[in-house]
Amino acid sequence: MLGSAVVVFAPSLLPGWALSTVLDGSSDRFRKILLAPALGLLLMYGLSGTLVLLNLWSPLLMGAALLAANALAYRLIHQRHETLAKRTRWQLLEAAMHGEISEETDTPSLSKEAEIQLEFQRNRSTPLMALSMVVAATAMLTPIIQRLPFGVDWIGFAMLTQQLVLEGNLSLPGTNEGFWTYPPAFPSVAAWVVTFTGHDAGTAVFHLGHCTLFALLMGLMGSLDRHGAGAYAMFAMGLGLGLFAKTFDSGFPSVASQLGLVVGILVLFRHADQRQKHHTVGLCVALYSVALIHPTGAIYLALLLLSHVMHGLAMENEEHRELVRRLAYIASAFITVGFAVALLVIAPRLFDEAVFSEYGWQGGKPLVVYNGALLFAGGVAAIALRRTLEGRIAITWFALLWLLSIVHLVEGLRFIPVLSLLSYTLYSMALHAFHVPLAVLVALWWSPGTKLTPHLEASPVPAPMPQALSLGLVITVLLGTLFAQSVAISLAQHEELMAVSPGDLELRRALADIEGIIYTENMHWGYIWDAPAGVKTTSIPTLGLVHLTASEHANATQAMFLDNTSYFENNNMLYALTSPLGTMQWTLATSPYWAASLQTDGATLWALRPDGDAPLLLLTGIDEEDCTACDVRLDPWRHHKFRDPLDLGQDRPFLPEGTVGELRVEAPETASTMCLVYEIIGQTDGFYLQASSGLERPFHGLRTDAGYHQACFAVDNASELTELRLEWDRSEPTRWLNPLGLSGRDTVLLDKTGVKLQWFSWSTGS
């Protein structure tokens, strides 16, 4: 993790420092420390994504672009004109902050701004800032204690990253011909991390996602520090779960696209007479860079700009309105180009797609679930700040986003590409659309030292948050942070939550000795983001928009069902890889043309046997009736399994740790070996299998690390093998917070350790 952080931040901090200097000449070193990671990383994303768009991405050219950016940043920071008249506006503001300019030099606005900012910096609470930075730093903890992320989206990002490492573009890998249409910035920066750290693409994506979350949190603190609310920005963010839940679920580009909001808050929450041309340029660069990360961030930043323009044009000051008009003209032209690309290039490819709403209306229950406490606090803050310009901008910004969520109410509507594109772009927006706007509103109210602009000259100064409530919320956020990190440490022991099993990861090391085409399942666990250069796989994730002109996966799957061995020989497809999470293993296990070449914890590498001499296995499912002491639990991957030859259904028998279970067995008469496939939930103490008769050895210790395992036992007398006894060392299960209970994949939130029983496989004597 440390190496990835160095590769990401080392080449971006100096450009970020320069950008913070230009966009906020009043910033001191401390504020620059807060802003530099976010602004520099945003620029890095923009440069990397541009190289991919130009079909020029390579580590060498990426390095050259970053070197040029650092050289320009160094010049911006250190070049100063001795004559004040030749200095830029931000350089004059810097001079005013150091007392080099006074009101007598015909720059009273600079002196006033400098005076306000100096007051903010003098009154900055060091203990609160330190606590805020510590809370933000906890975003880096998860990759330190865990090797890969949870969720499923990261696998697709890792596939894109691997293609950029190998090919320098987003062409489809393996036996597939075509390309992905997806914002290129995030996977290309992840490819930069892969190149210089040697990590696999999945690990690089994981590390980059959490580095970005840390930079975003620091950047929000820095941008709101300009209003004297820096420390409170982090505490306000801590009242919501949205972006943290999205990061946990590996929606890294959606979170990274929020980096543009740091620029938006820095530029648009300020007096019009304090905004200059370089601020508008910075805003346009931010919009461009964010669009290359993920379009959601560009939409959110554009709506913030719209809110700013709406309230700016309503001001009585004509000079103020003229400045806002200029900004509106420039931004409108920029946004028009973006919408033209979306409508003319991308939307037509979604003509047959319906409006998508997997989790329902994002402005309703999901908003309350993930940002309920922050929504309540934001409502109170909105009432308190309704007579200030900054408060009205934030309120309108949130309202526009909420109205945007109504697109999900027309789920299923077809043949309107614009709405389909919007719904796919705003997928799960309850997690990432409302968190920052509400946090901005709460932070501005929370801070006792802000100097907000009255909407009308006679408007009263808003009352800040009561001190007792402020202290209570700070303590609540700190306790919540400790609780969240304890949950993270606990979840690091639950590899069964991952979209790939530990056996899948272990088995991929064997692919280095294979060349040619390998059949892989068309599901999350079948997408191999770290395949050796000589190996071609058949499956690809449908990430973004996939332009597929040719693929062998469907033909290969059909050939497996029909035992068409000539197809595999003609295509040099002599191996297949299956996961215990998938379903193709059940077809191959009962085929005489495929033999298990290598097995690890239920994951299997199969080798083709054209002569049909592979050993046959008999598979039998385990249901709740076979284990009377077991509970019934949903299979979290039930919606991703489209075949069920074992008649397992959507439920699995679950035996809590500490509960003795009696498992009924119906062994084939000719059985010589019995294999039990089971899934350990969490890391348990000792787990044992005992049979009073029927097995050569009556007592066996089983593996207890989290995830799928396969334990095989020699059968002595099949007719006597009718029951197995499952025992534990521990008398009580360990409780843990199961995030699948929130996502809907499971029905239990406060879960307990134990074992899920899956199926038996039987080898018969010849």
Asked whether residue 59 carries a pLDDT value surpassing 80, the answer given is yes
Considering the domain architecture, whether residues 625 and 611 belong to the same structural domain is answered as no
Amino acid 111: pLDDT: 62
Cα separation, 146 vs 577, in Å, equals 25
Q: What is the mean pLDDT of residues 454-462?
A: 70
What are 161-178's pLDDT values in tens digits?
999 998 888 889 888 888
Task: For residue 419, name the pLDDT band (cuts at 50, 70, 90).
Answer: confident
Amino acid 324: pLDDT: 62
Structure tokens at 85: 């008249």
Asked whether residue 414 carries a pLDDT value surpassing 80, the answer given is no
Of 475, 494, 508, 396, nearest to 441 by C-alpha is 396
Considering the domain architecture, whether residues 484 and 523 belong to the same structural domain is answered as no
Considering the domain architecture, whether residues 447 and 547 belong to the same structural domain is answered as no
Task: For residue 321, name the pLDDT band (cuts at 50, 70, 90).
Answer: low
Comparing 55-59, 531-535, 728-732, which segment has the lowest mean pLDDT?
531-535
Considering the domain architecture, whether residues 443 and 519 belong to the same structural domain is answered as no
Q: What is the mean pLDDT of residues 517-524?
A: 91
494 in a structural domain = no
Q: Which residue has the tokens 């931004």?
A: 331
Asked whether residue 679 carries a pLDDT value surpassing 60, the answer given is yes
Considering the domain architecture, whether residues 477 and 506 belong to the same structural domain is answered as no
Domain end among 568, 597, 615: 615
Considering the domain architecture, whether residues 298 and 359 belong to the same structural domain is answered as yes
Mean pLDDT of the chain: 84
Comparing 322-336, 682-696, 700-714, which segment has the lowest mean pLDDT?
322-336
- Render 35-80 in DSSP notation, one character per residue: HHHHHHHHHHHHHHHHHHHTT---HHHHHHHHHHHHHHHHHHHH--
Asked whether residue 766 carries a pLDDT value surpassing 60, the answer given is no
Considering the domain architecture, whether residues 230 and 86 belong to the same structural domain is answered as yes
Max avg pLDDT among 335-339, 361-365, 467-471: 467-471
Considering the domain architecture, whether residues 315 and 408 belong to the same structural domain is answered as yes
Tell me if the pTM is above 0.85. Answer: yes
Asked whether residue 503 carries a pLDDT value surpassing 90, the answer given is no
739 in a structural domain = yes
Considering the domain architecture, whether residues 428 and 510 belong to the same structural domain is answered as no
Asked whether residue 403 carries a pLDDT value surpassing 60, the answer given is yes
Asked whether residue 318 carries a pLDDT value surpassing 60, the answer given is no
Asked whether residue 26 carries a pLDDT value surpassing 70, the answer given is yes
Amino acid 77: pLDDT: 82
Q: What is the mean pLDDT of residues 271-285?
A: 73
Considering the domain architecture, whether residues 11 and 98 belong to the same structural domain is answered as yes
Amino acid 109: pLDDT: 60
Between 43 and 22, the more confident residue is 43
Structure tokens at 199: 């990590």
Amino acid 104: pLDDT: 47
Asked whether residue 106 carries a pLDDT value surpassing 70, the answer given is no
**Cβ-proximal residues to 441 (8 Å cutoff; 6+ apart), any chain:** 378, 381, 382, 385, 391, 394, 395, 398
Considering the domain architecture, whether residues 580 and 479 belong to the same structural domain is answered as no
Q: For the chain, what is the domain count?
A: 3
524 in a structural domain = yes
Domain end among 465, 489, 513: 489
Between 514 and 339, the more confident residue is 514
Q: What is the mean pLDDT of residues 457-462?
A: 69
Considering the domain architecture, whether residues 173 and 38 belong to the same structural domain is answered as yes
Give per-residue burial for 396-425: e unless 16+ CB within 10 Å, then b: bbbebbbebbebbeeeeeeebbebbbbbbb
755 in a structural domain = yes
Asked whether residue 460 carries a pLDDT value surpassing 80, the answer given is no
Asked whether residue 62 carries a pLDDT value surpassing 90, the answer given is yes
Q: What is the mean pLDDT of residues 361-376?
A: 88
Domain coverage including residue 177: 2-489
Asked whether residue 717 carries a pLDDT value surpassing 50, the answer given is yes
Q: What is the mean pLDDT of residues 610-623?
A: 87
Domain end among 593, 615, 637: 615
Q: What is the mean pLDDT of residues 500-521?
A: 87
